């Protein structure tokens, strides 16, 4: 395949059919986003299918953005947990036209984004089971100094477990902030920088304060509310208005049909003052475990999910998705 010379811009879709870093055969495009493109690849040595993210050249060639990308890779490579996507490799490569680009190799996820389930309220048991897994993955990340900073439906992928159960995978730690390690005082994400998605942004993110894992707990609280109510706690057409609501408006309570302890749990996650939220994701997970244990069993309900042959990776979605019926535990 002809891709031009090294002075021409790299069109990421042209990478299909090429080999990245002498080991990843590019078989197809999974998705293209603002940061770059994600490809379905095969590791030539191991014969494994993987997902490889390649940065747009105008981003990767920028010194600060390139350093941020390397930081993303180092951040995610610290994580080894069933509810966090695994980063396998990262680095630079030269395409067939001699142009240099940056890549990040991850496990290939077969499932669907949480957003697919949010058109209506979820059964309470299903919602709590998903949030419990999210908190478990976040606890693992926070204990290793990694804050996700952008927890939202698109960054929560649901795959089928070995027994057919729903397994949460937190993806796209691309905006993650390292809280520990050498040079922490000179981190690139500084006070005064707003980072996140308005619908799921914590009050401290809105005003550009330094953040910690409790910002992820707030976003999880927004997701819990949406799962149980079928709508966001704060919604407006103007993103600036949404951020103002996160900062100033009291969150609407969860429905009265739910146990009082669960309603209080949701309210604590959405506390404006982070000092009033759970101290850690592990503490929130442990409290949710107690709430789940105290609930009476629910009748089985049917919902639709994507077929496990649908490939997904952090922040991307396929163009077509098969569907099948499952039972919710």
Answer whether 24's CB lies under 8 Å from 41's CB: yes
Which pLDDT tens digit goes with each residue over 147-156?
A: 999 999 999 9
pTM (predicted TM-score): 0.81
Which pLDDT tens digit goes with each residue over 235-246?
A: 999 999 999 999
Domain boundaries of the chain, sorted by first residue? 12-107, 110-177+192-312
Is it the case that residue 96 has pLDDT exceeding 90?
no
Contacts of 18 (CB under 8 A, 6+ apart): 1, 3, 26, 95, 96
User: Residue 214 and residue 274: Cα distance in Å, rounded?
Assistant: 6
CA angle 118, 119, 125 (to 5 degrees): 50
More confident call, 27 vs 55? 27
pLDDT for res 5:
40
Domain 12-107 falls in which CATH fold?
A: Phosphorylase Kinase; domain 1 (3.30.200)
Question: Mean pLDDT across the stretch 72-81?
Answer: 86
Which entry of 136, 150, 166, 172 is annotated as an active-site residue?
Answer: 150
Is it the case that residue 61 has pLDDT exceeding 60?
yes
Is it the case that residue 42 has pLDDT exceeding 50?
yes
Is it the case that residue 63 has pLDDT exceeding 80?
no
Which pLDDT tens digit goes with each residue over 102-151?
A: 899 999 999 999 999 999 999 999 999 999 999 999 999 999 989 999 99
Confidence of residue 262 (pLDDT cuts 50, 70, 90): very high
Answer whether 148's CB lies under 8 Å from 170's CB: yes
Crossing angle for the helix pair 260-269 and 281-294, nearest 10 degrees?
A: 160
Is it the case that residue 323 has pLDDT exceeding 90?
no
pLDDT-wise least confident of 35-39, 172-176, 224-228 = 172-176
Which pLDDT tens digit goes with each residue over 177-225?
A: 544 433 333 333 344 445 568 999 999 999 999 999 999 999 999 999 9
* DSSP annotation string for 10-28: P-GGGGTTSEETTTEEEEE
Q: Which of 314, 292, 148 is nearest to 217 (CA)?
A: 148
pLDDT for res 173:
79
60-64, 172-176, 196-200, 225-229: which has the highest mean pLDDT?
225-229
Homologous superfamily of the 110-177+192-312 domain (CATH) = Transferase(Phosphotransferase) domain 1 (1.10.510.10)
Answer whether 246's CB lies under 8 Å from 203's CB: yes
216 catalytic? Reply is: no
Question: Mean pLDDT across the stretch 13-31?
Answer: 92
């Amino acid at each position: 395949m002809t891709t031009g010379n090294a002075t021409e811009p790299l069109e990421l879709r042209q990478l299909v059919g090429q080999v990245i870093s002498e080991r990843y055969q590019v078989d197809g495009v999974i998705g293209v986003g603002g940061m770059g493109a994600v490809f379905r690849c095969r590791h030539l040595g191991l014969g494994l299918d993987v997902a490889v993210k390649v940065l747009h050249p105008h981003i990767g060639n920028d010194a600060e953005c390139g350093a941020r990308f390397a930081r993303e890779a180092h951040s995610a490579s610290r994580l080894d947990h069933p509810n966090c996507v695994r980063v396998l490799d990262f680095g630079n490569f030269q395409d067939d036209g001699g142009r240099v680009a940056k890549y990040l190799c991850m496990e290939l996820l077969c499932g669907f984004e949480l957003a697919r389930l949010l058109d209506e309220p979820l059964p309470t048991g299903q919602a709590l089971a998903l949030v419990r897994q999210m908190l478990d993955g976040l606890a693992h990340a926070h204990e290793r100094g990694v804050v996700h900073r952008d927890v939202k439906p698109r960054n929560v992928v649901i795959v089928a477990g070995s027994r057919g159960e729903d397994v949460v995978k937190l993806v796209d730690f691309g905006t993650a902030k390292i809280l520990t390690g050498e040079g922490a005082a000179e981190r690139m994400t500084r006070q005064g920088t707003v980072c996140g998605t308005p619908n799921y942004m914590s009050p401290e993110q809105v005003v550009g304060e330094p953040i910690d894992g409790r910002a992820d707990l707030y976003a999880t609280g927004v997701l819990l509310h949406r799962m149980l109510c079928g709508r966001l706690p704060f919604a407006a057409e103007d993103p600036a208005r949404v951020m103002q609501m996160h900062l100033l408006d009291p969150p609407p309570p969860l429905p009265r049909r739910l146990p009082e302890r669960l309603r209080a749990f949701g309210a604590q996650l959405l506390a404006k003052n982070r000092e009033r939220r759970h101290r850690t994701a592990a503490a929130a997970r442990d409290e949710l475990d107690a709430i789940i244990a105290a609930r009476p069993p629910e009748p089985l309900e049917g919902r639709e999910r994507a077929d496990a042959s649908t490939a997904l990776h952090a922040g991307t979605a396929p163009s077509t998705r098969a569907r099948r019926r499952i039972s919710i535990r």
